[in-house]
Chain A
Amino acid sequence: MSFPILSFVTFFPVAGAVLLIFVPKEKTNLHRYLALAFTLITLVASLTLYFHFDGAVADPQFVEKSGWLGYGINYHLGVDGISLWLVLLTTFLLPIAVLSSWTSIQKRVKEYLIFMLLLESGIIGVFVSLNLFLFYVFWEAMLIPMYFLIGVWGGPRRIYATLKFVLMTMFGSLLMLVAIFALYSFYYKATGTYSLEIFDFYKLILNPQVQGWLFLGFALAFAIKVPMFPFHTWLPDAHVEAPTAASVILAAVLLKMGTYGFLRFALPLFPDALERFLPLLSILALIGIIYGGLMALIQKDIKSLVAYSSVSHMGLIMLAVFSLNTEGVEGAIYQMLNHGLSTGALFLIVGILYERAHTRLIKDFGGVSSQMPVFSAFFLVCLLSAVGLPGLNGFVGEILCLFGIFKTSQLQAILAVSTVILAAAYLLWMYQRVMHGPITNEKIRSFKDINKRELGYLVPIIIMMFWMGIYPQPFLRKMDASVSRLLDRVHNRERIFLRETSQTTSLKSDRAAEAEVDQTAKKILAELEEKR
């Protein structure tokens, strides 16, 4: 396709942000409609990605590549079966986020929407970059709008929360930057050319010692982002203080940048180191599952309850990633989408409650369902999706994840099931206390049921929840090729290496040529061995 669709999807929101700068401040409604239009057009454009994406191809598609700064720094975009879904999740949720802040944000609407649009670009950019430099640029740049969204429009402790969020994330990413530099220089020393292309680095075989350090650099950045226990402490603070829409984006998409980072970089680049750190990482993921669930049980604030449930769910996703088999990884990716939808929806629902009650404490609620029957139905569906009820999306993802984990370790699977049990406990208990029972707070009597706008953004999510729960095939099939290529890279690194280095010569079909190819490949391997 000649139209640079990926660049369009990535930078169209920026164009919207620039346009908004020049719209006078007072026209708040115009700002809102413009932002909605820009996010919707981005969504439509991203849907063409879905329709034209060939699930049988493992390599990135819609590739755009052009030189940028030289020295291996290229402008290189593309999506494969893993990033496609995350891009779609982002573009799907952004119009919803804009709609959800239609009335809840009254102060400085213009700046708010500008940052929203910039945030969307930053996140999409992270998922579509195939050059490490570009990836890092988006990875860092996306922090700035989030920093403002939490810091300006957040709750009472917003400054603390936003600084903690930025500093913790940056701590990880700066160390990752050092690791990127190291990769960059290793590649230069091995081949004599500069490159920052991710796919070039896949061909690099490093000695295990070096791999260990580099892996730690990358893994720390991603573990903070996911967040894995014990790096999760920024998450509850950020979630509780952030405005609703920022919470939605944070939980639904930003956390996925961490898991995506593991899948794209930490696993395929450093398979030897991965093997070494796998037990530690699995244990951390397990602790996250159980710790997050238990913490969620005792939260008084609905929003921090959902935040801790994120910690628990993300633990399950990470554990499934670390199972390193098709079911596990596909389940993890699927669960990433599910978590995006269900947790995003739960934050929206908390937002709806907060807009009416101006409190988020569970004890202030009770008997809401009698006043808001439609709302309570929506709440229940979203909640059951998070719990993993069969027929809804959460079930498919969780069952795949657990299958995958079970294949590698039965003990881990048994412990991991506690995500589901704990989720049922804390979510249903919370639902009972908030929605049922006698009305204790007189304010609740004046609650109005959800309006058309709120219905408008909840319905698409609910539709997706049912669709992904009942008919997951189209989603999973588009991942297959990319996931199996990824696992191939992790497990059979050397063989892939041989295949890719001899690509240019393997076009000859006679046996002699093949033998020759084998010879050269072996020689290269031996040389590399020596270099170690």
Chain B
Amino acid sequence: MDGLASLYPLLAVVAGALVVLLLEVFIKKEKRDYLGYVSLAFLAAAAYLTVSSWNRELTYFQGTLSLDNLAIFLTLLFSLAVALVILLSLKYIGQQDANHGEIFALLLLALSGLMIMTSSSDLLVIYLGLEVLSISSYALAGLKRRDEKSGEAALKYFLLGSFASAFLVLGLAFLFGAARSTFLPEIIVHFGTAAAPSIMGFFGIALILVGFGFKVAVVPFHMWTPDVYEGAPTPVTAFFSVGPKAAGFVVLLRVFMNFWDTVPSSSVIFWALWAISALTMVVGNLVALRQTNIKRILAYSSIAHAGYLLVAILARDYSSLVFYLAAYLFMNIGAFAAVIGLSKTGTEYLELDDFAGIGFRYPWIGGTLTIFLLSLAGFPPTAGFLAKFYVFSAAVRAGLVPLVVIGVLANLVSVFYYLRIVVYMYMREPGREVDIEIENPALFLVLFLCLYGVLQLGIFPGNILIVIKQAIASLPVF
């Protein structure tokens, strides 16, 4: 169905961004919180508009923008992620010298980029969304203007991001040359029907993979991740680790959904992805072992998780991929929320030594962080376990046993470094004095929402799983 309604959520978000930008001029610095609340209101509106078009298969712009069920689900997920990040930023920006109203506007703009990326099957439109997302992200990374690390993060992200975009555009050009279209279904059909595999087309796909490899941070395109994650303001890091990664994987999902079966000589790409996935899981987890900064640990952990997500793509079990993304959202934002909780004005406690003994001192932050870490490590009965269970069982069913063995062993390594944080929190005596400002109701709201999400998805994921399956089933197969 063709209808302007498919644009409403996007329009709501962009309008929200503009309103917030305008309001910022008129609102005093001390009352920046209101901007956050306004953004949340717009997010709620966008979420409502999204939900109301469930099952309506709305499209616009000659089908280049289609609000199918998958896009709706992910839009909701992203809106939730951005809402959580906004809640986390409310106090943080005042504390950490990043008190600029732009953060809310930029987050909303980034969200609009994510929405465009996930609700299109046209590579050019996807690229458009990606750029909207990226440019807001570069600015977000450098939001702590007086902090050198933040500036470094922004610059690094900008340079490597543009580099990746260049790959992407070049790949697009090749693909267009081969298939005479930027529309994914047409490209796939072209590959499926072409008598001889066209080198140009495969080259294009490879370049696009490199481009997205940068965006979702898989090895060997991950180098920027730890520095950017470390330098960026922590709520923004939480957003980076969830938003762009998820959107990137959804694009990969749309690319590969019909790719494996229709394209005769897809095995080259398959084995390349296989190797990338194995490398990502192993390298991400091994390097995380040596880190002492919690943001860097979580950065490498997010790299490793990209490896697990690739397994789902290779196993062709896309509902488990989406489920994993949902679970990952809750556990990762939750972990970052707990990290943000451990801060006071002007200081963030990010070294592992700072975590010594805080588990018993701040039982709620310590306890929830422990649960998020256990979930990231894949312990039952949390969402992380169920997500890994679905991904790996699908992979075994698809015959990828060696990859799964590599995956679970890499997971074992990850258990070590996640538990190391827990060791510091509960089993070491405090080294240096850590005093934090506890009064932050928004933060605790986020912690409990994430805790709820992790447990709900881990124990009774029933309805959400059904929704995801429906969304995946409604995607076109040809």
Chain A residues with CB under 8 Å of chain B are 69-70, 108, 111, 133, 136-138, 140-141, 143-144, 147-148, 151-152, 158-159, 162-163, 166-167, 170-171, 174-175, 177-178, 181-182, 184-185, 188
Contact = CB atoms under 8 A, between A and B. Distances in A.
Given A167-B416, A177-B392, A152 B426 contact: yes
B412 A171 contact: yes
B396 A182 contact: yes
B419 A147 contact: yes
B393 interface: yes
Contacts of A140: 379-380, 385
B439 to A, nearest CB: 21
A151 B423 contact: yes
Contacts of B392: 177-178, 181
Contact of B380 (A141, A178, A181, A184): A141
A397 to B, nearest CB: 33
Contact of B416 (A141, A152, A163, A178): A163
Nearest to A179: B396
Interface string B400-433: 0100110011011001100110010011100000
Which label, helix, strand, loop or mixed, suits the secondary structure of the B interface? helix
A246 B374 CA distance: 21
A521 to B, nearest CB: 28
B381 interface: yes
B404 A181 contact: yes
A152 B428 CA distance: 8
B465 interface: yes
B380 A137 contact: yes
A175 B393 contact: no
B393 A159 contact: no
B61 interface: no
A185 B411 contact: no
A69 B379 CA distance: 17
Contacts of B411: 174
B360 interface: yes
A138 B385 CA distance: 12
Contacts of B404: 178, 181
Nearest to A73: B389
Contact of B396 (A108, A133, A147, A185): A185
Contacts of A108: 360
B211 to A, nearest CB: 33
Interface residues of B, number: 31
Nearest to A182: B396
12 contacts: A69-B465, A137-B381, A141-B381, A158-B427, A166-B415, A167-B415, A177-B392, A181-B392, A181-B395, A182-B396, A182-B401, A184-B397
A143 B379 contact: yes
Contacts of A177: 389, 392, 408
Interface string B340-372: 000000000000000000001000000000000
Given A111-B360, A148-B426, A184 B396 contact: yes
Nearest to B377: A170
Given A111-B360, A143-B379, A137 B393 contact: no
Contacts of B380: 136-138, 140-141
Contacts of A178: 392, 396, 401, 404-405, 408
A181 B379 contact: no
Contacts of B379: 140-141, 143-144
B462 interface: yes
Contact of A188 (B360, B397, B412): B397
B422 to A, nearest CB: 8
A108 B426 CA distance: 11
A185 B395 CA distance: 10
B94 interface: no
A170 B415 contact: yes
> What 10 A-B pairs have minimum CB-CB distances, sorted nearest first?
A181-B396, A174-B408, A137-B380, A185-B397, A181-B393, A151-B427, A141-B380, A140-B380, A185-B396, A152-B426
